């Protein structure tokens, strides 16, 4: 994981329509214009659209070619974009069943991703909480969840974070029936039952042993997540991230950080259908300024990143 701890960032979210692909794209553009070599990876294997946003209507190569072994290395499916320093790997939505790759296919893909020659690799994940989406999210050392001020988006963002944590715990304790029973009770608590938070799960682990309690604590502390609130129309809405952070802390034990907010921008919104031309014009609206700020924070975060703590559990897809 040391190979990718500073450069691999996964961008996820609990539902469609939060602007996740635009956030991935515009963050990548800002990083590239700040002098970094960037590769965007459309990891939405069932409904890719990132290539359309950069003006590639019919990609010559996609992840399908790599996953199906039509090409040997992932470098062979990298395509250029109109933005200097930024390339793209297009998603694989043209083969039936590609949205749910086999374990060996997924492992091969992740192993090749970490070998890419780039300063930053941004994974644009699919919406929802499928195992493939969650595994990509967990594999990346740097995790971003995108949400909007809508209540449904806030709820789904929290649901995505919760699903990620319990996917992680289920994998780490996969061979421990006693621990798994307690984890299952906490992930889907029944009314009247006591295990409805990670705090209570940690207390229940007292019946096991100190080693397993320490593993549980390591898992919780290892899940580092940052939030971006997108399409902000009112300054008061920027505080919606506090709701997710508070609930995640109280019920999941996870400390989540803000990465930034992106104001609703009429210029950007009206340019979605002609995004490639918009990008080459380099017009800076309100959102553009926000994305530069986010990019600068990502660069700073990568520069001060420290190695993963010794003995910390691996994420599921890394095994």
pLDDT tens digits along 121-173: 999 998 888 888 999 999 999 999 999 999 999 999 999 999 999 999 999 99
* pLDDT confidence of residue 314: 46
Binned at pLDDT 50, 70 and 90, residue 311 comes out as very low
**Of residues 100, 123, 98, 119, the one with CA closest to residue 110:** 123
Query: How would residue 319 be classed by pLDDT, with cut points 50, 70 and 90?
Result: very low
Could you tell me the end-to-end alpha-carbon distance of the chain, in angstroms, rounded to an integer?
11
| Torsion sign (Cα): 236, 237, 241, 246 | positive
Strands (E), 113-198: 120-125, 142-147
| CA–CA gap between residue 225 and residue 56 (Å, rounded) | 31
Range in 111-115, 240-244, 279-283 with the lowest mean pLDDT: 279-283
CATH for 8-154+226-318 is 3.40.50.300
pLDDT at 236 over 60: yes
Closest CA to 126 of 9, 52, 15: 15
Residue 125 has phi, psi (to 5 degrees) of: -90, 160
The phi, psi pair for 42, rounded to 5°, reads -80, 95
Sheet holding 78-80, edge to edge: 78-80, 86-89, 38-43, 120-125, 8-12, 142-147, 225-232, 256-263
- Tens of pLDDT, residues 25-53: 999 999 999 999 999 999 887 778 899 99
Minimal CA–CA distance to 232: which of 286, 156, 297, 158? 286
Residue 268, CA atoms < 13 Å, CB-side half-sphere: 20
Alpha helices in 19-75 (DSSP H): 20-33, 50-53, 63-67
How confident is residue 317, by pLDDT bands cut at 50, 70 and 90?
very low
1 pLDDT higher than 60 = no
Side-chain half-sphere CA neighbours of 12 within 13 A: 29
81-113 tens-digit pLDDT: 999 999 999 987 655 556 677 888 888 888 899
Angle at 88 between CA 77 and CA 67, to 5 degrees: 35
The reported pLDDT for the residue numbered 167 is 96
- Residue where the block lists tokens 């906490």: 186
Q: What does the mean pLDDT of the chain come to?
A: 88
**pLDDT confidence of residue 293:** 96
The predicted structure's pLDDT at residue 166: 96
| Rounded-to-integer distance, Cα 267 and Cα 276, Å | 13
Site of tokens 């019946």 = 207
**pLDDT recorded at residue 315:** 45
Q: List the chain domain ranges.
A: 8-154+226-318
Q: Which of 13-22, 149-158, 240-249, 275-284 has the lowest mean pLDDT?
A: 275-284
pLDDT at 255: 96
The vertex-225 CA angle with 224 and 227, nearest 5°, equals 155
User: Is 277 or 74 the better-scoring residue by pLDDT?
Assistant: 74
pLDDT of residue 190 exceeding 50: yes
| Distance, CA of 59 to CA of 77 (rounded, Å) | 9
**Better-predicted residue by pLDDT, 304 or 273:** 273
Structure confidence at residue 64 as a pLDDT band (50, 70, 90):
confident
Q: 259: Cβ–Cβ under 8 A, 6 or more apart, which residues?
A: 144, 226, 227, 228, 294, 297, 298
Tokens representing 195 are 């295990």
Task: Determine the average pLDDT of the residues in 280-302.
Answer: 89
Query: Which tokens hold the place of 70?
Result: 């039509």
């Amino acid at each position: 994981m040391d190979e990718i701890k500073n450069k691999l960032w996964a961008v996820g979210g609990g539902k469609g329509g939060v602007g996740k692909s635009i956030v991935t794209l515009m963050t990548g553009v800002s990083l590239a214009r700040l002098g970094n070599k960037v590769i965007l990876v459309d990891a939405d294997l069932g409904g890719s659209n990132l290539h359309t946003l950069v003006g590639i209507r019919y990609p010559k190569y996609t992840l399908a070619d790599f996953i199906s072994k039509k090409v040997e290395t992932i470098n062979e499916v990298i395509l250029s974009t109109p933005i200097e320093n930024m390339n793209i790997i297009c998603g694989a939505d043209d083969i039936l069943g590609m949205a749910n790759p086999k374990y060996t296919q997924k492992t091969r893909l992740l192993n090749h991703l970490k070998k890419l020659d780039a300063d930053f690799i941004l994974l644009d994940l699919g919406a929802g909480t499928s195992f493939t989406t969650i595994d990509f999210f967990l594999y990346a050392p740097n995790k971003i969840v995108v949400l909007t001020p809508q209540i449904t988006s806030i709820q789904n963002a929290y649901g995505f974070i919760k699903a990620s944590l319990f996917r992680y715990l289920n994998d780490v304790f996969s061979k421990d029936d006693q621990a798994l029973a307690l984890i299952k009770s906490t992930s889907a608590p029944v009314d009247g039952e006591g295990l409805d938070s990670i705090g209570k799960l940690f207390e229940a682990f007292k019946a096991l042993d100190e080693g397993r309690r320490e593993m549980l604590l390591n898992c919780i502390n290892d899940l580092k997540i940052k939030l971006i609130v997108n399409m902000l129309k009112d300054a008061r809405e920027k505080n919606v991230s506090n709701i997710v952070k508070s609930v995640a802390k109280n019920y999941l034990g996870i400390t989540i950080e803000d990465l930034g907010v992106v104001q609703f921008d009429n210029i950007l919104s009206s340019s979605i259908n002609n995004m490639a031309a918009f990008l080459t014009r380099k017009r800076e609206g309100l959102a553009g300024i926000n994305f530069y700020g986010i990019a600068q924070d990502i660069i700073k975060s990568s520069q001060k990143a420290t190695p993963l703590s010794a003995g910390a559990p691996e994420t599921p897809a890394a095994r």
